[in-house]
Structure 1
Amino acid sequence: MLEAFDLTGRIPKGQYSSIIDPLEARAAKLQREVRKHGKSVIIVMEGWRGSGITRIINLLQPVLDPRGTRIYPIVEPNDIERDHGMFWRFWFRLPSYGQTAIFDRSWYTSTIVEYYNPDQMDEIPGSCIEDINNFEAQIISDGDLLLKFFLHISKEEQKRRLLVIKDSPFTMQAMYLRRKEGMYMVNRDFAMVDRMLMKTDKPASPWTIVEAESMKYGHVRVLQTFNSAVECWLTEKAGGNKELAQTYLIKTIIEPEEASILKKTDLTKSYTHKEYKPILQKLQEELHDLQVEIYNRKIPVVIVFEGWDAAGKGGCIIRLAESFNPRGYVVEPIGPPNDWEKMHHYLWRFYNRFPGKGKITIFDRSWYGRVLVERIEGFCSESEWQRAYHEINVMEDSLTRDGTILIKFWLHIDKDEQLRRFEERQNTPEKNWKITEEDWRNREKWDQYETAVDAMIRRTTTTRTPWTIIPANNKYYARIAVLQTVRSALQKKIKDMK
Structure 2
Amino acid sequence: MFEAAKVGRSVSKQDFKAQRDELRTQLLEAQRELTESRIPVIVIVAGVEAAGKGEVVNRLNEWLDTRGMQTFAFWDQSDEENERPRYWRFWRTLPARGEIAILFGGWYLAPIEHRFAGHCDDAALDAELARIVDFERALTQDGNLVVKFWFHLSEPDQKARLKELSRDDRSRWKMLPKKSKFSEQYQLFEYIAERVIRQTDRGIAPWYLIEAEDKRYRDLTVGKTLLQAIRARLKQPLPIEPPATADPLELPESTSAQITLLDQLDLSQRLERDEYKTLLKQYQREVNDLAWRAYNQKRSIVLVFEGADAGGKGGAIRRITSAVDARLYRTIPIAAPTDEEKAHHYLWRFWRHLPRAGHMIIYDRSWYGRVLVERVEGFASETEWRRAYSEINEFEEQLVENGAVLLKFWLQVSEDEQLRRFQDREQTPYKQYKITDEDWRNREKWPLYKLAVNEMVARTSTEYAPWTLVEGDDKPFARIKVLRTLCERLRTALDNSAAPVPGSGITRCGYQTTQEAT
- 2:126 is matched by which residue type in structure 1? S
Shift of 1:274: 1.6
The answer to whether structure 1 residue 249 and structure 2 residue 246 are counterparts is: yes
The answer to whether structure 1 residue 437 and structure 2 residue 437 are counterparts is: yes
The answer to whether structure 1 residue 322 and structure 2 residue 322 are counterparts is: yes
Distance 2:375 2:413 in 1: 21
Q: Secondary structure at the match of 2:245?
A: helix
Shift of 1:249: 3.3
Distance 1:358 1:430 in 2: 36
Distance 1:132 1:286 in 2: 37
Q: Secondary structure at the match of 2:473?
A: coil
Q: Which residue in 2 is equivalent to 1:293?
A: 293
- 2:265 is matched by which residue type in structure 1? T
Distance 2:125 2:476 in 1: 44
- 1:394 is matched by which residue type in structure 2? E
Kindly report which structure 2 residues correspond to 1:162-311, keeping only aligned pairs within 5 A, or say none.
246-250=243-247, 252-256=248-252, 257=257, 259-311=259-311
The answer to whether structure 1 residue 127 and structure 2 residue 123 are counterparts is: no
Cα RMSD after superposing both structures: 2.6
Q: Secondary structure at the match of 1:323?
A: coil
Kindly report which structure 2 residues correspond to 1:49-60, keeping only aligned pairs within 5 A, or say none.
none
Q: Secondary structure at the match of 1:253?
A: coil
Cα deviations by residue, 1:49-74 (Å, 9 ceiling, x for unpaired): xxxxxxxxxxxxxxxxxxxxxxxxxx
Cα deviations by residue, 1:76-113 (Å, 9 ceiling, x for unpaired): xxxxxxxxxxxxxxxxxxxxxxxxxxxxxxxxxxxxxx
TM-score, reference length from structure 2:
0.50
**Counterparts in 2 of 1:425 and 1:353: CA distance versus 1, 3 Å:** same
Structure 1 contact 330–361 (Cα < 8 Å) conserved: yes
Q: Which residue in 2 is equivalent to 1:177?
A: none
**Counterparts in 2 of 1:497 and 1:373: CA distance versus 1, 3 Å:** same
Cα deviations by residue, 1:314-344 (Å, 9 ceiling, x for unpaired): 0000001111000000110000110011000
Percent identity of equivalent pairs: 45
- 2:468 is matched by which residue type in structure 1? T
- 1:306 is matched by which residue type in structure 2? E
Distance 2:365 2:492 in 1: 25
TM-score, reference length from structure 1:
0.51
Distance 1:131 1:475 in 2: 44
Q: Which residue in 2 is equivalent to 1:418?
A: 418
Q: Secondary structure at the match of 1:407?
A: strand
Shift of 1:433: 1.4
Distance 1:132 1:284 in 2: 38
**Counterparts in 2 of 1:367 and 1:286: CA distance versus 1, 3 Å:** same
Kindly report which structure 2 residues correspond to 1:317-466, keeping only aligned pairs within 5 A, or say none.
317-466=317-466
Distance 1:133 1:346 in 2: 18
Q: Which residue in 1 is equivalent to 2:206?
A: none
- 1:373 is matched by which residue type in structure 2? V
Cα deviations by residue, 1:328-383 (Å, 9 ceiling, x for unpaired): 00110000110011000000000011110000000000000000011111111110
Shift of 1:131: 7.8
Gaps of 5+ in 2: 1-122, 134-238, 499-518
Q: Which residue in 2 is equivalent to 1:494?
A: 494
Q: Secondary structure at the match of 1:497?
A: coil
Q: Secondary structure at the match of 1:246?
A: coil
Structure 2 contact 258–451 (Cα < 8 Å) conserved: no
Cα deviations by residue, 1:449-487 (Å, 9 ceiling, x for unpaired): 011000100010110100000000000000000000110
Structure 1 contact 254–454 (Cα < 8 Å) conserved: no
Distance 2:349 2:295 in 1: 24
Larger Rg, first or second structure (1 or 2) = 2
Q: Which residue in 2 is equivalent to 1:210?
A: none
Q: Secondary structure at the match of 2:243?
A: helix
Shift of 1:492: 0.6
Distance 1:244 1:464 in 2: 30
**Counterparts in 2 of 1:132 and 1:423: CA distance versus 1, 3 Å:** closer
Cα deviations by residue, 1:26-50 (Å, 9 ceiling, x for unpaired): xxxxxxxxxxxxxxxxxxxxxxxxx
Q: Secondary structure at the match of 2:244?
A: helix
- 1:284 is matched by which residue type in structure 2? Q
Gaps of 5+ in 1: 1-123, 135-241
Distance 2:130 2:290 in 1: 42
- 1:253 is matched by which residue type in structure 2? L
* Between 267-276 and 396-405, the greater mean CA deviation after superposition: 267-276
Count of aligned positions = 270
